[in-house]
Amino acid sequence: MNPVTAFTIIMLIWAVSDFVSKKTKSLVSSLLVASIIFLVGFKTNIFPEDLLTSSSLLALGQTVVGFIIVHIGTMISIDELKKQWKTVVIGVAAVLGITLFLFLIGSLFLDQNYVIGAIGAISGGTISVIIVQDAALASGLVMVAVFPVLIAAFQGLIGFPMTSLILRKEAKRLKGEYRAGTLKVEKPEEHHEAESKTILPKALQTTAGTLFVVGVVVMIAAYVNNITDGVLNKFVVALLLGILLRAFGVLKPNILSGIDAYGLMMLAILIIIFGPLATSSVDDLIALIGPLCIAFAVGVSGSVVFSGLMGKILGYSIPMSIAIGLTTLYGFPGTMILSQEAARSVGENEQEVAAIEGQILPKMIIAGFSTVTITSVVITSILAELIH
């Protein structure tokens, strides 16, 4: 297919997907809409099999995966993680619960490769899915590569309604405490400009300069991966370098946000996960419905049990703890949207809404980072080595 035509078609698909997602307030994810469009297009031959490769977005996405992971690392504040350490521990427990339940129970029904794919998708986001896909495709396992895509596409439909109900219950509890005068209302923290400063010279703060610096970090991560024979996975190293370089003031928070190339880079990353859909048959996809249901039932149960128990130990309410665990199913911005909606649906005036949101929102934001961004990437990188 003509590269310009392929690129334009993909941009149209993503524009439609974003439109539907916004209209449904993210209940129907853009990933689900795009997956359906690509599936229908490929299986009816409306789209040629080389649509994604012809657009050059696949090649771009594979090139910049490391860049995006470094960027994600710079989104994480070590200070915030320290303040919300209980939330972090509960989030880690949720991912461990997903992993253990799928290995212990899911393995009774699913092949180990599908179990690992399910762990990567249910506990994490796009990056975890890509890690699993790379390992599966390297072993010639196309359907194992497709499996986490389907899970990722349907996560929001499960995670959003469940979390919404649970957070509203938590919001009602907090409203009762607020009216009783027992709720500690924290004032929102001021964000200082110093946080966004960097020790890098101005010449390296342009679009090209920023991409050069991040590229060097990715190269270092790849070098560490090579000299350790993959023991220290390049994606994990890139994530840790992003966190540390932000903490030491070398990289600004959200390092790629605002540069000219960021939007296209993110689209290219997302396009990667649709690649295996072009070569999978309808019968193969139908055969994955059963494993998909099993993976969700077992994985989500593991998250609920482990996050609930850990939250109880650390003094959090059960609803808040479970909600923290469920952030594995969507991450940011869902964590923010659901927190705000819960506060607004229960609070009867601005003061109540602010008090409730002040308790829920920080926990949910940090939870998303501790589950989807950190723990899942680390665990998935380790487990992906077992795919064969």
Q: Are 230 and 381 in contact (CB under 8 A)?
A: no
Nearest CA-CA partner of 148 in 172, 123, 176, 178: 123
Domain boundaries, the chain: 75-183+197-255+281-385
pLDDT in tens, 286-314: 889 999 999 999 999 999 999 999 999 99
Q: In angstroms, rounded to a whole number, what is the distance separating the alpha carbons of residues 65 and 72? A: 11
Residue listed under structure tokens 């110093």 = 194
3-class secondary structure, 56? coil
Cβ-in-10-Å burial (0-12, 13-18, 19+) of 37 comes to buried
* pLDDT score at 124: 81
* pLDDT score at 21: 79
* pLDDT score at 195: 52
* pLDDT score at 333: 66
Residues of the chain short of pLDDT 50, as ranges, are 188, 190-194
Residue 192 burial (CB count, 10 A): 8
Q: How many residues does the chain have?
A: 388
Output the pTM of the full model: 0.80
Nearest CA-CA partner of 266 in 9, 57, 20: 57
Structure tokens at 254: 């959200």
* pLDDT score at 191: 46
